Amino acid sequence: MKILLIHCYYTVKGGEDAVFEQEGKKLAINNDVRILKFYNKNSIAGGFQFLVSIWNISAAYKIKRNIRDFKPEVVHLHNWHFAIGPLCLRTIKKLNVPLVVTLHNYRLICPSATLLLNGEISIEGLKTLFPLKSIFAKAYRESYILTFWLAFINWFHSKIGTWKKVDKYIVLTEFAKEIFCNSRLEIEDSKIVVKPNFVDTEESTLKFVRSDHFLFVGRLSEEKGVLILLEVFKNSQNKLRIAGDGPLIEKVIKFAENNSNITFLGRLDKSDVVKEIRQCNALIFPSIWFEGMPMTVIEAQSEGTCVIASDIGAMASMIQQDLNGLLFEMGSAFALNKALKYWVEMSTNKKNEIEYNALMNYENLYNPEKNIKDLEAIYKSVLYN
């Protein structure tokens, strides 16, 4: 199968970028794959990309040129914000090529991409014609103007039918499918298919022994639950190691300096993240928004590591309480404390059972071989529909 994969990289590399790279690498084993990358920029150049993203003729032309040269049977688009823009969807369909789009987050229906407004989850306005509530809340980069422009771009392309040009949308959980199906987009249920992410595990000849510390890996930001995490471990007897980067980095560094039980590791590469996951007591995932499909949770399960996570969105569908991990009430420091105590006091046999089930959950749902077969089946469904 000839497949053109398109993706716009964020200024700070994240989970979506990793998914794009992993899928491309695995697909290329048995298919003819071409990769087309775009890159978001900072400062003035980034502002210009954002401004013209409503109708980016240059990006559309680059995609058109690649399609005419490569002649793919199917195009798979991941992120188009902001260096590509929605015009590419119309361009691809005009060239009569089946189009598959992965919705990694909720930006198509919420300017924040997280469904968070003023630090709280908000889904009441998802069916309104124009997201005024998001604009008044300055949902995107705390700016009325930027939020309005992003909302207008999505509204404009909705009015001219751009989102209907897609043959199949991939979402990562049943929960996400329900959110999109009940939004203002009015996408047909049959056009949305659920396919989770996966991680490619790293083989190791080293023997890792679990320590007694907990681990957090991710973006250091409010929506990731970092403030709750710091509150729980402040002056705690439990040890915590934090890896990542983001807007709250200075706060995290200060907490680590003032609390000897907290260690800040900075930003780690993939191999170092895997080592940390293999050695920790459990991974904590305190996110306060509806995550798409957290790669860190999948990575932890692939190593048989227990995940203690917020009980919302993707996490609630990936983790079953006392079976393959632990869940706690989202946003509650008290609930997280209680979950940590429960895990610490749990018997070794029960811990081993949960860790084994976490590994089996990965093998059954998130391993690369199954995932790529499912993805190829999606491509074939739009090819022979």
Mean pLDDT of the chain: 94
- In terms of domains, do 184 and 264 share one? no
Tokens 């897609």 label which residue? 166
- Using alpha carbons, list the distances in angstroms from residue 72 to 106, 153, 170, 380: 28, 28, 19, 13
Whether residue 206 lies inside any domain: the answer is no
Whether residue 205 lies inside any domain: the answer is no
Q: How confident is the model at residue 235 (pLDDT cuts 50, 70, 90)?
A: confident
pLDDT in tens, 91-121: 999 999 999 999 999 999 999 998 988 888 8
Out of 95-104, 171-180, 278-287, least confident range: 171-180
Out of 118-122, 188-192, 258-262, least confident range: 118-122
- In terms of domains, do 12 and 139 share one? yes
pLDDT value of residue 82:
94
- In terms of domains, do 160 and 20 share one? yes
What single string gives the DSSP state of each residue in 167-221?
Answer: SEEEESSHHHHHHHHTSTT---GGGEEE------PPP-SSPP---S-EEEES--S
- In terms of domains, do 239 and 109 share one? no
pLDDT value of residue 205:
47
Two tokens, residue 337: 């404390």
Rounded distance between C-alpha atoms, residue 106 and residue 360, angstroms: 29
- In terms of domains, do 47 and 166 share one? yes
Whether residue 209 lies inside any domain: the answer is no
Whether residue 340 lies inside any domain: the answer is yes
Rounded distance between C-alpha atoms, residue 334 and residue 349, angstroms: 26
β-pairing, 116-117 vs 120-121, is antiparallel
- In terms of domains, do 263 and 155 share one? no
Contacts of 143 (CB under 8 A, 6+ apart): none
pTM: 0.88
Give how many domains the chain has, as a whole number.
2
Closest CA to 199 of 26, 78, 367: 367
The sheet carrying 282-285 orders its strands as 262-266, 240-243, 214-217, 282-285, 307-310, 326-328
- In terms of domains, do 190 and 221 share one? no
β-pairing, 120-121 vs 214-217, is unpaired
End-to-end C-alpha distance for the chain, whole angstroms: 16
Q: Is-contact 96 152, C-beta < 8 A?
A: no
55 backbone dihedrals φ, ψ, rounded to 5°? -155, 70
Whether residue 8 lies inside any domain: the answer is yes
Average pLDDT of span 214-235: 95
Rounded distance between C-alpha atoms, residue 340 and residue 326, angstroms: 9
Out of 18-22, 124-128, 187-191, 380-384, least confident range: 124-128
- In terms of domains, do 79 and 173 share one? yes
- Using alpha carbons, list the distances in angstroms from residue 311 to 115, 290, 360, 377: 16, 10, 21, 31
- In terms of domains, do 177 and 274 share one? no
CATH number of the structural domain spanning residue 355 = 3.40.50.2000
- In terms of domains, do 250 and 374 share one? no
Rounded distance between C-alpha atoms, residue 130 and residue 154, angstroms: 9
- In terms of domains, do 174 and 246 share one? no
Residue range of the domain that includes 32: 2-198+368-383
Residue 206 has pLDDT above 80, yes or no: no
Closest CA to 271 of 342, 360, 206: 206
pLDDT in tens, 338-347: 999 999 999 9
